[in-house]
């Protein structure tokens, strides 16, 4: 059973470009969470999705950021018009149900904006 | 107020000795879960141990144990017989009630000396 798969592992974008980060949850997991880790900091919750639904987006910046988890395919975190401050590690986690005793994390995507 | 507080930015421990990493939390919800994750220099998030607020006994997983003191709202991680491979960043995290998002502390860097 493959773990949570994120790609790409590393992504470099110029200011103003778009960044697309992908997350395939573990098989059988229908809950996906995105977190952001700025340098030298802990992870901060961004958004929680179930298939085709955004359940909690309280941690998402109001502009330029969006997330989806379609019926088929991976979850996508999209950042439009990236700025230097978007440089961070973005982690995806998945779980099979709510209130799980373990959230399985992917290896993260390290976004660098130049 | 901070939900999760890790007061030790960095810790050193001699190989083969035990070390305690501190974590205090703040919540008014009677139902919550506490997690510890390890983040080595390679960047992935590795789940170590989980403690539920209603669990009667302290959680243990191999060399990891959680010293759960509910009245003090502390959930310290104890690593016994430290190994060089334990050198990493360690994060304490909490999930409240039926919620799904994790709130992370700022982390503690542990260095194991030979």
Which tens digit of pLDDT belongs to each residue from A29-43?
A: 888 999 999 988 889
Is residue A104 very low, low, confident or very high in pLDDT (cuts 50, 70, 90)?
confident
Say if residue B93's pLDDT is above 70.
Answer: yes
Q: How many CB pairs under 8 A join A and B?
A: 62
pLDDT digits (tens, 9 = 90+) for A34-71: 999 998 888 999 999 998 899 999 999 999 999 999 98
Listed in sequence order, the residues at least 6 apart from A41 whose beta carbon sits closer than 8 Å to its beta carbon are B106, B107
User: What local confidence, expressed as pLDDT, does residue B100 receive?
Assistant: 73
Asked if A108's CB is within 8 angstroms of B43's CB, the reply is yes
Question: Residue A84 phi/psi, 5° resolution?
Answer: -55, -35
The shortest C-alpha distance from A70 to chain B (Å) reads 19
Asked if A103's CB is within 8 angstroms of B102's CB, the reply is yes
Question: Residue A85 phi/psi, 5° resolution?
Answer: -65, -10
Is the pLDDT higher at A22 or at B96? A22
Give the residue on A whose Cα is nearest the Cα of B92: A42
pLDDT digits (tens, 9 = 90+) for B11-32: 999 999 999 999 999 999 999 9
Give the CA distances from residue B30 to residues A27, B53, B58, B97, B114, in Å, rounded to whole numbers and listed in that order.
32, 7, 17, 7, 42
Nearest one of A36, A22, A14, A10 to A81, comparing CA atoms:
A14
Only one residue has tokens 């305690």, namely B20
Give the residue on B whose Cα is nearest the Cα of A42: B106
Query: Residue B101: which of A33, A106, A108 has the nearest Cβ?
Result: A33
Is the pLDDT higher at A96 or at A56? A56
Say if residue A98's pLDDT is above 80.
Answer: no
Asked if A102's CB is within 8 angstroms of B35's CB, the reply is yes
Beta carbons of B12 and B111 less than 8 angstroms apart? yes
B-chain CB neighbours of A44 within 8 Å are 104
Asked if B106's CB is within 8 angstroms of A105's CB, the reply is no
Give the residue on B whose Cα is nearest the Cα of A89: B43
Asked if A41's CB is within 8 angstroms of B47's CB, the reply is no
The shortest C-alpha distance from B105 to chain A (Å) reads 6
pLDDT digits (tens, 9 = 90+) for B43-63: 999 999 999 999 989 999 999
User: What local confidence, expressed as pLDDT, does residue A33 receive?
Assistant: 94
């Amino acid at each position: 059973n493959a773990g949570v798969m994120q790609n790409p592992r590393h992504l470099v974008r110029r200011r103003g470009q778009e960044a697309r980060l992908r997350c395939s949850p573990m098989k059988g997991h229908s809950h996906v969470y995105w977190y952001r880790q700025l340098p030298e900091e802990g992870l901060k919750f961004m958004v929680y999705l179930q298939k085709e639904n955004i359940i909690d987006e309280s941690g998402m910046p109001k502009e330029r950021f969006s997330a989806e988890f379609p019926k088929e395919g991976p979850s996508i975190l999209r950042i439009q018009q990236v700025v230097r401050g978007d440089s961070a590690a973005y982690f995806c986690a998945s779980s099979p149900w709510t209130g799980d005793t373990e959230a399985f994390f992917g290896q993260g995507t390290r976004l660098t904006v130049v | 107020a901070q939900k999760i507080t890790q007061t030790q930015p960095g810790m050193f421990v001699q190989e083969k000795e035990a070390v305690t990493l501190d974590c205090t939390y703040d919540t008014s919800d009677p139902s919550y879960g506490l997690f510890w994750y390890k983040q080595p220099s390679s960047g992935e998030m590795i789940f170590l141990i989980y403690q539920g607020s209603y669990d009667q006994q302290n959680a243990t997983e191999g060399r990891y144990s959680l010293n759960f003191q509910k009245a003090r709202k502390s959930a310290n991680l104890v690593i016994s017989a430290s190994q060089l491979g334990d050198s990493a960043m360690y994060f304490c995290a909490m999930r409240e009630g039926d919620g799904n998002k994790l709130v992370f502390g700022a982390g503690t860097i542990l260095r194991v000396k030979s």
